[in-house]
Amino acid sequence: MKVFRMIDIHTHTQYSDGIGMIGDNVAEAEKKGLKLVGISDHVHYFTPKRLNTYISEIRQIKKDSEITVLAGIEANILATGVDITTEMAKKLDYVIASAHVWLDPGGIDAYLDLIKIAIQDENVDIIGHFGNVFPYIGYPSYEEYLEIVELAEEYGKAFEISSRYRVPELDFIKLCIRRGIKLTFASDAHIPSDVGAIRWSEKVFKKAGGTREDLLFSELL
């Protein structure tokens, strides 16, 4: 089990709605024995100038750390597209795109349409907490899951396995592995002590038959 406890790609800091500093998240990741931690604050808290400050702070902390520290961001999927510019995305190591409840993802069809928009967006690398709204809006059929997976395969997108929301479902993760779609682990920590809280992600990944090769950024581990 311990062998997979190495990645947390989704953590927030004071740069958006988290309460820790970037250094606090990295210190916690080091303490918990992670190999890789990503900082992924919400995109709508940034101006281009503030993004530069954020990235240089992450790069500086990375230099002083023994573990890999990546500069990411969490963008919002809107009906009009994902709210990140190519210019911003190019400066970052990765972009997570999430459909957020506070933006009203609509019913199941509307939600899946949002996910498809994000999968086809060249600025996006990872789909965030896919399905966390299903308990409220209903679950997709197997065919609908398959459609999402096929599109992700075509566009080379990854999915995070979120320990915070306990999504996606096991069957969806199995489909991803079968299709060679990369997966990654996410605590979605908003306080430093939650960084590396990815036990559920590891468990379900292992249960689905995932191996090191199925992990995004496995080359950095």
Report the interface residues with Zn ion, using CB under 5 A: 74, 98, 188
Q: Which CB sits closer to Zn ion, 93 or 177? A: 93
Give min distance, CB of 130 to Zn ion, in A: 11
Please, what is the minimum distance in Å from the beta carbon of residue 215 to Zn ion? 19
What distance in Å separates the CA atoms of residue 221 and residue 184, rounded to the nearest whole number? 12
- CB of residue 194 to Zn ion, shortest distance in Å: 11
Dihedral (Cα; 32, 38, 44, 46), 10-degree rounding: 110
How big is the CA angle at 168 (ends 173 and 190), to the nearest 5 degrees? 130
In the bound complex, what is the minimum distance in angstroms from residue 165's beta carbon to Zn ion?
8
Count of Cβ atoms closer than 10 Å to residue 59 Cβ? 11
Which is nearer to Zn ion, 77 or 173 (by Cβ)? 77
CA 104 to chain centre: 20
Question: Based on CB atoms, which residue is closest to Zn ion, 69 or 126?
Answer: 126
Taking the complex as a whole, the smallest distance from the CB of residue 34 to Zn ion amounts, in Å, to 17
Residue at token pair 């559920």: 200
Long-range CB pairs of 138-146 (<8 Å, 24+ gap) are 138/107, 138/108, 139/108, 139/169, 140/108, 140/112, 142/171, 144/108, 144/112, 145/171, 145/172, 145/175, 146/175
State which residue, 39 or 177, has the beta carbon closest to Zn ion.
Answer: 39
CB of 5 to Zn ion, least distance (A): 20
Q: Which residue is nearest to Zn ion (CB)?
A: 98
**What is the chain's length?**
221
Nearer to Zn ion, 190 or 199 (CB): 190
Environment class of 69 (CB within 10 Å of its CB; exposed 0-12, middle 13-18, buried 19+): buried
Query: Which is closer to Zn ion, CB of 125 or CB of 188?
Result: 188
